Amino acid sequence: MRKRWLSIALAALICLSFPAMAWAEEEDGGELELYTDEAYYTRFAGQGISINVYNWGEYISDGSDDTLNVNRAFQDLTGIRVYYSTYATNEELYSKLRSGNANYDVIIPSDYMIGRMINESMLLPLDKDNIPNLQYMDETFLNPIYDPGDVYSVPYTWGYVGVIYNKTLIYDEEELGSWDILWNEKYLGNILMFSNSRDAFAIAQSRNGYSLNTTDPDELRDCLEDLKAQKSLVQAYVMDEIFDKMLGGEAALAPYYAGDALTMMDDNEDLGFFIPEEGTNIFADAMCIPKGSREKEAAEMYINFMLEPEVGAANIEYIGYGTPNAEAKELLDEEITGNPVAYPSEEELANTEAFAALPQNTSLLLDELWTELLSNDEQYNRILVPMIMLAAILLSIGINVQRHLRKNKRNYFS
């Protein structure tokens, strides 16, 4: 998720390394060490069953660069055909499911979107007896705020938001560690912000000690005032453009997702990362089965397969986000699991809060405040635009009719 930029680069890379990939594909399959017995996986073999999986782009280990091809391994093991397709944003997934023409068996949305889908009864409850590998999950990631009791979802990855900074552009190391540095006037024009209302407001909410899921309009207004005060210091509101800008040393400070920060730090040694002490947003993507699924049991089997420690480890190595699977984490490289940015200590994450689904009213208000922040306007007259519209239409018609009449007249005389 949130890796469009990366996916473009990777896509280019994959195209370049095509011969290598073809060779790698012959390698995998058959050598996996399974934690659930084989009889469980082979019970649908030969029945010609297929499932549709809908996932983020570049969000599964796909066999490139000698990695495990998860979908092919699943197919070889179970005889269930996997039709795999990808999306770029939660909203894209949502509108596709809403339009009602899509038919998917496994989807992997983010936390707040899962909450929303549960509210709008778009998901099916999972049969946990059919997903024995659930026992390997890390307790801390179970029973999340967006899906109490883990009825509808199984966590796939997790991550959190922190501040990425350029060491060469920081005046005083002492100031690091708090959200306040993003409001520090010394960094005028050197700060990047999220160009996404929920994430941007979450920063102001953490700084003020409000809940990230507040529905109180006054608290949201407060946050808006904070963000307005910050606006003059902000160089730009960005999403994926942050990679270019931070790598090129364009800005000193930028809040972003930890997994992507790691990618950037690999490419530029001047970059550092901290978790603000006031707390931050922790997010998760989880596997769900949407209503309309035709092969629910096969879909659960697929979810179980994704929880196989070896499969999970392969996916995480490919994606770069955190894994909620304790056994899979054991299998990962010491270099990854020992990295404080990838896996911070529990104390550092003590203050974090996950996004839940917001009521529609709050979502609308949030977008409205966000637009107000970016366009700096407060007052408006309710009948102004309808009146202008009417006048504009009449004027256009008038002009065209008059032109027509004039033309007719001219033709008459000539």
In 188-256, which ranges are continuous DSSP H helix? 197-208, 217-231, 242-247
Residue 244 binds another protein (CB under 8 A): yes
Whichever of 81 and 245 has its CB closer to another protein, that residue is 245
CB 161 to another protein: min, Å = 16
Among 119-127, 128-136, 142-150, 173-181, which window interacts with another protein (CB under 8 A)?
119-127
- Least distance in Å: CB of 234 to another protein? 7
**Is residue 374 close enough to count as binding another protein by CB under 8 A?**
yes
Instruction: Tell me how far apart the alpha carbons of residues 322 and 331 are, in angstroms, rounded to a whole number.
Output: 13
Q: How far is CA 110 from CA 107, 146, 323, in A?
A: 10, 10, 14
Q: Which amino acid is at 29?
A: G
* Angstrom distance (rounded) from CA 186 to CA 239: 23
Relative orientation angle of helices 4-16 and 18-27, to the nearest 10 degrees: 90
Interaction between residue 370 and another protein (CB under 8 A): yes
> Cα–Cα distance between 133 and 159 in angstroms, integer?
22
Of the residues 10, 24, 102, 236, which one makes contact with another protein according to CB under 8 A: 236
Number of residues that bind another protein (CB under 8 A): 54
Nearer to another protein, 52 or 110 (CB): 110
Residues 53-92 as x/- pattern, contact with another protein by CB under 8 A: ------------------------------------x-xx
Whether the CB-CB separation of 329 and 337 falls below 8 Å is answered with yes
In three-state secondary structure terms, 99 is helix
Which of 386, 408, 412, 413 touches another protein (CB under 8 A)?
386
Burial class (CB in 10 A: 0-12, 13-18, 19+), 254: buried
Residue selected from 106, 234, 265, 319 as contacting another protein according to rule CB under 8 A: 234
101 touches another protein (CB under 8 A)? no
In the bound state with another protein, the residue whose beta carbon lies nearer, of 48 and 248, is 248
371 scored as a contact of another protein (CB under 8 A): yes
* By CB under 8 A, residue 94 contacts another protein: yes
Question: CB-based burial of residue 75 (10 Å sphere; 0-12 exposed, 13-18 middle, 19+ buried)?
Answer: middle
> What are phi and psi for residue 28, nearest 5 degrees?
-85, 175
> Could you say whether residue 396 binds another protein (CB under 8 A)?
yes
Asked if 395 touches another protein (CB under 8 A), the answer is: yes
Cα of first residue to Cα of last residue in the chain, in angstroms, is: 69
Q: Give residue 343's identity as a one-letter amino acid code.
A: Y
Using CB under 8 A as the binding rule, whether residue 231 contacts another protein is answered as: yes
Q: Give me the 8-27 binding string for another protein, x by CB under 8 A, dash otherwise.
A: --------------------
State how far the Cα of 67 lies from the Cα of 305, in Å rounded to an integer.
16
| 190-229 footprint of another protein as x/- string (CB under 8 A) | -----xxxx-------------------------------
Among positions 368, 404, 405, 409, the unique one binding another protein when judged by CB under 8 A:
368
Q: Is 249 in the site for another protein (CB under 8 A)?
A: yes
